[in-house]
Structure 1
Amino acid sequence: MAPTVPEFYAGKSVLITGGTGFVGKALLEKLLRCCPDIGTVYLLMRQKKGLGCEERLKDLWSKRVFDLLRDKDPEAIKKVRLINGDITEPELGISDADKKELQERCNVIFHSAACVRFDQKLKDAVNLNTTGTLRMLTLAESMKNLQVFVHLSTAYCRCDLEMLEEKLYPAVHNPRKIIEIVEWMDDDTLQYLEPKLISSEPNTYSYTKAITEDLVAEYSGKFPIAIARPSIVTAAWKEPIPGWVDNLNGPTGLVIGSGKGVIRTMHCEPSYTADAISVDVVVNACILIAYVTALDKPKTTQIYNLTLSKVFEMTWAEIIKLGEKFVNQFPYSVALWYPGGSIKSYKIAHQIDVFFSHILPAYLVDALLFLLGKKTFMINLQKRISHGLNVLQYYTTKEWDFRNENYKSLRNRVTAEDNETFFTDISSMNPEEYLKNYVLGTRQFCCHEDPANIPRARKLHTIRYIVDRFFKLVFIALIGWFLYSNRHIFSSSMEFLDSTLKSMTPLNPVKAEDEL
């Protein structure tokens, strides 16, 4: 009989790259908490000046994501060993002793380290996402007891396709040749060529993830390989804390920006289905993918689309409506203005609204701050917000059909108890409860606001509401006064327009015939 998931990981040595990232921390926490007999968990981590391994590990262990684990098993951290290294350096920058230890002992690799900035320069994105993966694959090839290599990619690795199956798609360019090009080509030439090179994808992140999958597949047959493709990764659904999130990427930044009254318009097709998956569901799937792949020992690369398609579907309009509800119910203490605005299906309508609700107020606020002798910030802030929205709006104005039969089949490969522990069925998710926890999570973990100050935040929210309505009434009154004060101008203009139209009206044919 096949071992259970915890039994499989018992005594195993696991290497995680990107262990200090959003997904990496959640993966480490889940492995230590739900596979208590795991052997050693190696974390590849860059050195920090003036901080030793113990200090860095202690800092990592103090993060909120480990609260539950610290209470349950305070000694679990002793199973974690830091490996000083960097995926951007030759041979990962690790020492000979560490390399030898990994070659002798490592059984499972989770490669999640990547540059998640969509606007990263091509050279940097290739070095992190593609060359870094090649360095990891080279190390994996030298390991004597490696049972599985799990590579984290993205479901949006081929945005030019409307339907994405769980199969390998040939890369537009040979990844090794792209690595060579960015190594020798100067920055100016590469910047000039970048739009043409990545034309099949919306940004360097998607492009490098796409070509890197080809690179990973080259190693098929040398050791078991699986590629996990999550869609947009969002806050935790259940574990370790409902709503836990520790970065401002993607939808999280949108929730906070709109909740603080900074983002007031967005280009989005409200009827399209959104595909975003919670971080705990992603790490559970990765743990099971490694388990299944190691048992099956496939000779080809296995692909898993970790997406909501055909499992749980919500439109952007439904999500935004619920988000607005909870942002007003659990407001932020510090905000620029009362939340408002709307989503726009047409880009021109969005651009007009951006001018009046984003750009113009930013200049007015900065002008006022300048006159008061204060430091200006709104214009720069709005530039960053506009850039972020432009990146995100690519995904809110398109729709994809992700096939995910391999992902859904994972629940059939494990015991009922393991299914309970590594919940793969997300059809039971309550969207209202999830988005409520998501908003509360952004307050607590991103904005560092104490849940106890919600009553005070609501009072401030009410004040912002009154001020918002007051200024809107004043604005309407000013427009009315302006129109009334200049009514003679408008009256003369209308008379002129009326006479002009009459003079352009053709003669009545019947009357013209009578005159003849």
Structure 2
Amino acid sequence: MNISRGLSDERDVTMNSASDVPGFYKGRCVFVTGGTGFMGKVLLEKLLRSCPDIATIYLLMRPKRGNDVRIRQEELIRSQIFDRLRNERPGFASQLVVMKGDVTLENLGLSREDRSLIKKKVSVIFHCAANVRFDQKLKYAVRYNTLGTQRVLELAEDIDSLDAFVHVSTAYCHCDEAVLGEVTYASPTDPRNILQLVEWMDDEALDSVTPKLMGNLPNTYAYSKNLTEQLVTNYSSKFPIAIARPSIVTGTWKAPVSGWVENLNGPTGLLVGAGKGVIRSMHCRAEYNADIMPCDIAINAIIILAWKVANLRLNKPLVCNITESGDNPLTWRHILDTGRKHLYENPLSDAIWFPDGSIKSSWIMHTLCVIFFHFLPAYLIDILVTLCGKKPFMVKIQRRIQGGLEVLQYYTTKVWVFKNDNFRALPQTLTEKDRETFYTDIKMVDWDDYIKNFVLGTRHYYLKEDPATLPKARRHIRRLYWVDRTVSVLFYLLIIWMLLQWSDEIIAWGHLTLRSMPQMFSMVPILRALPEAMGTDPGTIY
């Protein structure tokens, strides 16, 4: 249910014709959650590099794996995403202040001093923190995504002068909408009731009611983000709010470098799995549009949104679907074909098998391919590994991969329609310089060039494979190609031999089946009457 209109319907609000986005951030203190994640790092780098006069970025960070937040801060600053910034502005780290905390804790786990500092100094909040696992149990997804956001909103409400609160959501949190508008929608259940429910209900009972609670939503991630948008909307009368809904966020297009990625989420995982030869089939409608969004474009839009909502001062959320939406169409087939070409030219090191996967629109064909080309080779590899005295691993990996593919196929076998008028309108009120610095025009992306850089970036930034290893990787791929072709020929010869060996039995079975058909049809009335005689509803059997 639509409960608000988009910005394009506003007629009573005007903005200055000339923008100065860096000028807006000059002297400001900004609070960021999720700054150590993929999008969060790109956000930090962009703010520090393109808005150099920003006063301070306060970053909420939790200790992890026994590492103090100061150690994590040093690791963050050493990240490759900051290489360009390190060269241009070596002292950038002085503008980044880490605050120990956690969105899952009461009051975000912030000290009284840090909370007081935020209250007095912060005027912009970027809430990027999220648990993006699709298979997470409802309790943990809601605690992190929904309750965590509730706590950030409570902090925001306490701030003396908050000009902008930007909540990073997802274009896939309203999957039951045939067309996703740039508006807010009522959640299927009251988020406050769900927050109470996950606290008192035991895990087993909660698991049993989860499907009913989610309704048409595909997973707990989408459901928790759906609830979260309702929470955020409830605060829109208290301070200016923007809701950013990016689609499938992928590696950077241009800045700070081309092709930067740092996790296996979404298409990156598919790329690595296919490049290593362990993903050979994907259930997908090849002709459907793949609404991917380069991370740097998404971040530019988010930075502009804070400036825009601070100027507009609306009493409802400014919603922006950061989506491609047919402006620069890219099909799944194009991604696969182009990605395969660049993987052949720039293969990943130590591939297990030749990367020759394909898209299957038929679920049956995909399932057969998974059995023969995913699990059968995995069992053979594990047998060989076991014979060598090593611990088997391949079947376990394939089961995890298959679980991930089953989750993803919900998104790759549907047509998604997103309205993105507000996203398209973002550059219109910017100066020419700001349009160049904070570019958001998806039509300018050359997808072939982008996919090539995505492959190279995944190889270099995530897998840490030196470009000097490419010649060796190419030789290895050529060998795997001939191994793959040899095995394929032997496999088909085996099938032909088996058919020839069993041809007499197959023919005899066919004749027997044909002779038995009249008797089988004569049994139908008896079979239909049997459930009624047993007191069973026939609908439960047929």
- Which range, TM-score by smaller chain? over 0.9
Corresponding residue of 2:476 = 460
Corresponding residue of 2:535 = none
Corresponding residue of 1:382 = 398
Corresponding residue of 1:514 = none
CA distance in 2 between counterparts of 1:171 and 1:269 reads 29
CA distance in 2 between counterparts of 1:372 and 1:149 reads 57
Corresponding residue of 2:136 = 120
CA distance in 2 between counterparts of 1:51 and 1:402 reads 41
Corresponding residue of 1:14 = 30
Alpha-carbon displacement from aligned partner over 1:312-343 (angstroms, at most 9, x marks no partner): 11111111111111111110111110012321
- Given the alignment, which residue of 191, 195, 202 partners 1:179? 195
Aligned ranges for residues 208-227 of structure 1 at < 5 Å?
Answer: 208-227=224-243
CA distance in 2 between counterparts of 1:52 and 1:492 reads 70
- Given the alignment, which residue of 277, 293, 301 partners 1:261? 277
Corresponding residue of 1:107 = 123
Corresponding residue of 2:503 = 490
Contact 1:14 1:41 in 2 (8 A): yes
Aligned length: 502
Contact 2:298 2:440 in 1 (8 A): no
CA distance in 2 between counterparts of 1:330 and 1:114 reads 33
Contact 1:19 1:25 in 2 (8 A): yes
Does residue 1:157 correspond to 2:173, yes or no? yes
Aligned residue type for 1:379: V
Contact 2:143 2:195 in 1 (8 A): yes
Corresponding residue of 1:433 = 449
Contact 1:200 1:207 in 2 (8 A): no
Per the alignment, do residues 473 and 6 of structure 1 end up closer, same or farther by CA in structure 2, a change over 3 Å counting? same
CA distance in 1 between counterparts of 2:299 and 2:198 reads 32
CA distance in 2 between counterparts of 1:322 and 1:5 reads 36
Helix, strand or coil at the partner of 1:193 = helix
Corresponding residue of 1:238 = 254
Aligned ranges for residues 231-310 of structure 1 at < 5 Å?
Answer: 231-310=247-326
**Displacement, 1:50?**
6.1
Does residue 1:323 correspond to 2:339, yes or no? yes
Corresponding residue of 2:416 = 400
Aligned residue type for 2:503: F
CA distance in 2 between counterparts of 1:503 and 1:57 reads 75
Contact 2:244 2:321 in 1 (8 A): yes
Contact 1:268 1:343 in 2 (8 A): yes
CA distance in 2 between counterparts of 1:399 and 1:238 reads 28
**Displacement, 1:498?**
7.3
Per the alignment, do residues 469 and 126 of structure 1 end up closer, same or farther by CA in structure 2, a change over 3 Å counting? same
**Structure 2 residues without counterparts, runs of 5 or longer:** 1-15, 519-542
CA distance in 1 between counterparts of 2:461 and 2:206 reads 39
Aligned residue type for 2:276: K
**Structure 1 residues without counterparts, runs of 5 or longer:** 506-516
Does residue 1:87 correspond to 2:112, yes or no? no
CA distance in 1 between counterparts of 2:81 and 2:167 reads 23
Aligned residue type for 2:385: L
CA distance in 1 between counterparts of 2:469 and 2:435 reads 38
CA distance in 2 between counterparts of 1:213 and 1:494 reads 62
Contact 1:292 1:413 in 2 (8 A): no
Contact 1:175 1:215 in 2 (8 A): yes
Aligned residue type for 1:187: D
Alpha-carbon displacement from aligned partner over 1:45-102 (angstroms, at most 9, x marks no partner): 0024764554332211100100110011010111000010000001100000000000
CA RMSD of aligned residues (A): 1.9
Per the alignment, do residues 492 and 409 of structure 1 end up closer, same or farther by CA in structure 2, a change over 3 Å counting? closer
CA distance in 1 between counterparts of 2:457 and 2:49 reads 21
Aligned residue type for 1:490: S
Aligned residue type for 1:260: K
CA distance in 2 between counterparts of 1:245 and 1:137 reads 29
Per the alignment, do residues 365 and 217 of structure 1 end up closer, same or farther by CA in structure 2, a change over 3 Å counting? same
Corresponding residue of 1:199 = 215
- Given the alignment, which residue of 138, 147, 150 partners 2:154? 138
Helix, strand or coil at the partner of 1:261 = coil
Corresponding residue of 1:34 = 50
Does residue 1:336 correspond to 2:352, yes or no? yes
Per the alignment, do residues 51 and 252 of structure 1 end up closer, same or farther by CA in structure 2, a change over 3 Å counting? closer
Percent identity between matched residues is: 49
**Normalized against structure 2, the TM-score is what?**
0.89
Contact 1:43 1:80 in 2 (8 A): yes
**Displacement, 1:300?**
1.0
Corresponding residue of 1:57 = 73
**Displacement, 1:373?**
1.9
- Given the alignment, which residue of 6, 18, 23 partners 2:39? 23
Aligned residue type for 2:127: H
Helix, strand or coil at the partner of 1:427 = helix
Per the alignment, do residues 48 and 347 of structure 1 end up closer, same or farther by CA in structure 2, a change over 3 Å counting? closer
CA distance in 1 between counterparts of 2:266 and 2:509 reads 53
CA distance in 1 between counterparts of 2:273 and 2:483 reads 19
CA distance in 2 between counterparts of 1:366 and 1:403 reads 48
Per the alignment, do residues 347 and 496 of structure 1 end up closer, same or farther by CA in structure 2, a change over 3 Å counting? closer
Corresponding residue of 1:513 = none
Corresponding residue of 1:508 = none
Helix, strand or coil at the partner of 2:321 = strand
Contact 2:108 2:152 in 1 (8 A): yes
**Displacement, 1:107?**
0.7
CA distance in 2 between counterparts of 1:110 and 1:389 reads 31
**Normalized against structure 1, the TM-score is what?**
0.94
